[in-house]
């Protein structure tokens, strides 16, 4: 532990020396482009099924990072990722763990990348923050709204650096669109349309594999369930497609709210607040394993009167509609009415949003400088909160009145109970 504290002090003192990105030579551990060992961020990774390895590749390509350990409850995922790390460094040094607690206890980690199913977000994050680790974590921040608040508090009380995988903020067209809106190029915004997609996508090609049976020997299934309710194993329940089951994910709404709703907030300066009323309807599958809403229509009203409309019929992305026109942005295109708006240049004396062109490097730079990342924990919590409130409105069938300052639902005890998780024993949400 003393070695990590010494390294952190060194990094803080040498923040001005942060170098630009450099891709390390394949199969080398200490080449001319590698940072000195004392100046590298020592990282581990938890959750290696899909997004986890994709994130890890970005950190492996950063010469200022040394990945030393990986963790997963599926031995196939674990060993595949170990081979990826070892191959990158040309050795066999990467340690493997089944439990994140054991990995955190190593004492030599500076940071951790976490990419787990939503129901497994809060506990490992809070434990990482309490262990003194900086964290790159996936969106949505939480599976239940109260978990997000607990995560933010853990990050804050431990003075940790947090980066959310809401990487669209590190892409030029999203930032430019948000800056145009923030600087009044379409006048006062009347409403916002947010498209998050519809239906269930069979990412793992397991849609028909719903017959219950024994879990494969390489998977610690009880650990995979963790705080979620006990349930029989079937392939359609787990890897990739868990997001369509409400016990583990939140369907399209929660899968994408950390992207397109996050951008909607960014363009309006709403990063640290939320709506005051939320109401919604949805088509919810009945009697099926995949029970997340497939179609939905939600309206979130903010204190200013602004309405954010989240509808499965909207095309994916964010569209601000103002008194002089509109701006739409997605991963594929940016559009405006009138189109000339997109040619506008933001002046030096206008609002300039946080500028990052490499989401992963931004995290590493901030670990070294101790400055806030482009997607800190509180911002991620506020984005996820909108999705949580939409789902509460859908499942109660009632209009939800929300106080974004103290994060309470007003005069609806039943809805209020849905803010907090109901963990399976012996798991508990850390205080």
Phi, psi of 321 (to 5 degrees): -115, 115
Strands 41-46 vs 111-114: parallel, antiparallel or unpaired: parallel
What is the set of domains in the chain, with CATH numbers?
Answer: 2-168 (3.40.50.720), 172-344+377-431 (3.30.360.10)
- Per-residue model confidence (pLDDT) at position 431: 74
Q: How many residues are there in the chain?
A: 431
Q: How far apart are CA 85 and CA 58, in angstroms?
A: 11
Phi, psi of 333 (to 5 degrees): -160, 165
Q: How many Cα neighbours within 13 Å face the side chain of 223?
A: 17
CB of 111 closer than 8 Å to CB of 42: yes
- Per-residue model confidence (pLDDT) at position 32: 45
Q: How far apart are CA 87 and CA 56, in angstroms?
A: 13
SS3 per-residue string spanning 251-262: HHHHHHHHHHHH
Q: Whose CA is closest to 117, among 279, 294, 243?
A: 243
Phi, psi of 7 (to 5 degrees): -65, -40
Cα Rg of the chain, angstroms: 22
Q: How far apart are CA 300 and CA 67, in angstroms?
A: 42
- Per-residue model confidence (pLDDT) at position 422: 96
Q: Whose CA is closest to 377, among 172, 195, 147?
A: 147
- Per-residue model confidence (pLDDT) at position 5: 37
What does the pLDDT profile of the chain (431 residues) look like in tens digits? 333 433 443 344 333 333 333 323 333 344 545 566 668 999 999 999 999 999 999 999 999 999 999 999 999 999 999 999 999 999 999 999 999 999 999 999 999 999 999 999 999 999 999 999 999 999 999 999 999 999 999 999 999 999 999 999 999 999 999 999 999 999 999 999 999 999 999 999 999 999 999 999 999 999 999 999 999 999 999 999 999 999 999 999 999 999 999 999 999 999 999 999 999 999 999 999 999 999 999 999 999 999 999 999 999 999 999 999 999 999 999 999 999 999 999 999 999 999 999 999 999 999 999 999 999 999 999 999 999 999 999 999 999 999 999 999 999 999 999 999 999 999 999 87
The runs of H, that is alpha helices, within 131-258 are 145-157, 172-182, 221-225, 251-256
CB of 338 closer than 8 Å to CB of 329: no
Q: How many Cα neighbours within 13 Å face the side chain of 126?
A: 18
pTM of this prediction exceeds 0.85: yes
340 by Cβ neighbours in 10 Å (0-12 / 13-18 / 19+) ranks as exposed
Cβ count within 10 A of residue 22: 15
CB of 301 closer than 8 Å to CB of 400: no
Q: How far apart are CA 227 and CA 120, in angstroms?
A: 7
């Amino acid at each position: 532990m003393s070695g990590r504290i010494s390294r952190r002090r060194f990094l803080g003192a040498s923040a001005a020396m942060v170098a630009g990105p450099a891709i390390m030579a394949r199969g080398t551990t200490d080449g001319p482009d590698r940072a000195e060992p004392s100046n590298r961020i020592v990282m581990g990774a938890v959750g290696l099924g899909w997004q986890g390895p994709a994130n890890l590749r970005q950190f492996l390509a950063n010469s200022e990072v040394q990945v030393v350990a990986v963790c997963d409850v599926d031995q196939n995922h674990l060993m595949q990722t170990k081979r990826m790390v070892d191959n990158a460094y040309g050795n066999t040094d990467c340690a493997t763990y089944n439990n994140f607690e054991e990995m955190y206890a190593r004492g030599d980690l500076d940071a951790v990348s976490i990419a787990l199913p939503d129901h497994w977000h809060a506990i490992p994050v809070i434990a990482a923050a309490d262990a003194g680790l900086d964290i790159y974590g996936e969106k949505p921040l939480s599976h239940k709204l109260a978990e997000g608040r607990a995560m933010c508090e853990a990050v804050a009380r431990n003075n940790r650096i947090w980066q959310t995988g809401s990487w669209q903020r590190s892409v030029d067209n999203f930032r430019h669109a948000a800056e145009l809106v923030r600087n009044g190029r379409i006048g006062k915004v009347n409403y916002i349309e947010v498209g998050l997609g519809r239906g269930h996508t069979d990412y793992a090609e397991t849609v028909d594999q719903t017959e219950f049976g024994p879990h494969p020997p390489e998977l610690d299934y009880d650990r995979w369930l963790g705080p979620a309710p006990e349930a029989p194993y079937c392939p359609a329940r787990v890897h990739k497609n868990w997001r369509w089951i409400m016990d583990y994910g939140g369907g399209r709404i929660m899968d994408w709210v950390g992207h397109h709703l996050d951008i909607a907030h960014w363009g309006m300066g709403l990063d640290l607040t939320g709506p005051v009323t939320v109401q919604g309807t949805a088509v919810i599958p009945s009697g099926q394993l995949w029970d997340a809403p497939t179609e939905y229509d939600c309206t979130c009203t903010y204190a200013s009167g602004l309405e954010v409309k989240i509808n499965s019929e909207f095309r994916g992305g964010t569209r601000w509609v103002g008194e002089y026109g509109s701006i739409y942005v997605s991963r594929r295109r940016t559009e405006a009415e009138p189109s000339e708006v997109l040619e506008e240049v933001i002046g030096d004396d206008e609002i300039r949003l946080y500028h990052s062109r490499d989401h992963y490097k931004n995290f590493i730079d901030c670990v070294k400088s101790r400055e806030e990342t482009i997607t800190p924990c509180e911002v991620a919590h506020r984005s996820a909160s909108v999705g949580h409130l939409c789902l509460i409105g859908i499942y109660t069938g009632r209009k939800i009145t929300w106080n974004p300052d103290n994060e309470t639902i007003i005069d609806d005890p039943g809805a209020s109970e849905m803010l907090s998780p109901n963990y399976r024993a012996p798991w508990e949400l850390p205080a």
